[in-house]
Amino acid sequence: MLYRSMPRTGDKISILGFGCMRLPLDGEGKIDEARASAMIRSAIDRGVNYIDTAYTYHGGESESFVGKALQDGYREKVFLATKLPSWMVETPPDMDRFLDEQLSRLRTDVIDYYLLHSLTAERWEIMKRNGFAEFLDRALADGRIRRAGFSFHAPLPLFKEITDAYPWHFCQIQYNYLDTHYQAGTEGLRYAAGRNMGVIIMEPLRGGNLARNVPDPIKKIWAGSPRPISPAGWALRWIWDHPEVSVVLSGMTVEQDLEDNLSTAEDGEAGSLTAAEQEMIGRAREEYRTRMKVLCTNCQYCMPCPAGVNIPECFNRYNMAFMFDNLEQARQTYSVFLKPGARAAACVKCGACEEKCPQNLKIRDLLEDVTRLLDVSE
C-alpha cells in the first residue's frame, strides 16, 4: 500500500480509503455484517488505514456497524472518519449531542477525521448560524476529534468561501475524470491544496457508473491498453496521478471491488501515468461527453433561477441517463438530489436563464424534456 502525508498534520494515510456507504447487504436490505466486517478487516490487514462513515449511511446503521467491525484491535490501526449531519442541526447544542452519540456508536473516545457533512449554501448557513467554528474548536480542544474538515456538494464560489472561513485540516470533494469542472472540480482541488489542506476524494467512479455498465465504445478504448486494468482502475489511477490528492474513498460492495482497488493502488504514485495513458483516459472522457444530450458546462450563469429550479443539476441528472445507459438510476438520483421546487417541473418559462446562457441553450424546452424523462410523478 502506498501512503501520502496530510499537508498540515503529517498523518501518513493510505491512498485508498474504505468508504462505508455501500456495504454488502443481506437478503433483507440490512448490512451483511459478517461479510462487510471481513472485507474491512482484510483491507486493514493489507494496508488501508482510513475508514470513512457518516451518521446517516445505511439508514443510520453504518456507524454502529463500523464500531463493531473495528473491535479486536482494528480501531488502533486506522484513522476513523465520520460526519456531522449538518442539515439536522437546529440549535448549537445539537452539534455536541450528535458528536457524543457518534462516539458511542463507534465505540471510541476520539474521531480522527470529523467533517461537516455535505455542505451546500443552505447547510452552510445552518452551520454558521449555530456556531460551527466554536463547536469544532471545543471538540478539538477537549480531544473528541483530532482533525476538522467538511464535505462539499455545491458550486465552486461557495467552496472557496468555506475553505477560507476556518483553519480546516482537510476537505472532501467529488472528483473524477468526468467531473473536472463540477462542484469544486480541479480548481477547487488546487485551491484547497494551495492552502495546505488535505483533500479527500469521494465519488471517484461517479456512483459506480465509471465501472459498471460500461458502454461498448468505452470498453474498446480500455481494451487498447497493453496493461489489463479495469475501468475502475483507470478512474482511480487518474485521480491518484494528482499530487494534490491525499486519499481516494471507494465504496466497496463486493470482494472483487476490494481486490481490484487494492491491486490498482499498488501503482497509484502521483505523476505515474504516461502521456499515452493520459491520452487514452482523455478519449474515454470525450466519448462519455459525446453521449450527453444537453451541452451544459455547469458555468452557473443561468443561476439563480427566479423560480428556484436548479438548472445545471437537472441537466446533469438528465445527461447521466444517456451517458451511462441507466435511466433507472438517473430517475432515482434526480428525486434524491433535487427537492420538488428545484426540479425542472417548477420552471415558469420566464426565459431569464436563456438570456444569460453562454451556450445559447433552449433551456425552457430542455427542462420540459427533463421532466418527461426523469420526473416519474408527472
Residue 359: per-residue pLDDT: 74
What are the pLDDT digits (tens) for 286-321? 998 888 888 786 777 798 999 999 999 999 899 889
Residue 75: per-residue pLDDT: 97
- Give me 334's grid cell: 434526480
What are the pLDDT digits (tens) for 150-183? 999 888 999 999 999 999 999 999 999 988 988 8
| pLDDT at residue 343 tops 90 | yes
Residue 64's H or E segment, with its range, is helix 62-69
Which residue shows C-alpha cell 482484510?
A: 42
Residue 170's H or E segment, with its range, is strand 170-174
Residue 358: per-residue pLDDT: 66
| pLDDT at residue 378 tops 60 | no
Residue 286: per-residue pLDDT: 92
CATH T-level assignment (fold) for domain 3-281: TIM Barrel (3.20.20)
Residue 326: per-residue pLDDT: 84
Three-state secondary-structure class, residue 113: strand
**73 Ramachandran zone, left/alpha/beta (phi>0; psi -120 to 50):** left
CB-based contact 60:29 (threshold 8 Å):
no
Q: pLDDT-derived band of residue 51, with 50, 70 and 90 as boundaries?
A: very high
Which residue shows C-alpha cell 452551520?
A: 127
| pLDDT at residue 345 tops 90 | yes
Three-state secondary-structure class, residue 316: helix
Q: Where are the domains of the chain?
A: 3-281, 311-374
pTM over 0.95: no
Interatomic CA distance for residues 105 and 358, integer angstroms? 49
Mean pLDDT of the chain: 94
What mean pLDDT comes out for the span 338-354?
Answer: 94
- Single-letter code of the amino acid located at 9: T
Q: What percent of the chain has pLDDT over 70?
A: 99
| pLDDT at residue 257 tops 60 | yes
Q: pLDDT-derived band of residue 63, with 50, 70 and 90 as boundaries?
A: very high
What are the pLDDT digits (tens) for 131-154? 999 999 999 999 999 999 999 988
Interatomic CA distance for residues 338 and 333, integer angstroms? 8
| pLDDT at residue 69 tops 70 | yes
Three-state secondary-structure class, residue 242: coil
What mean pLDDT comes out for the span 275-286?
Answer: 95
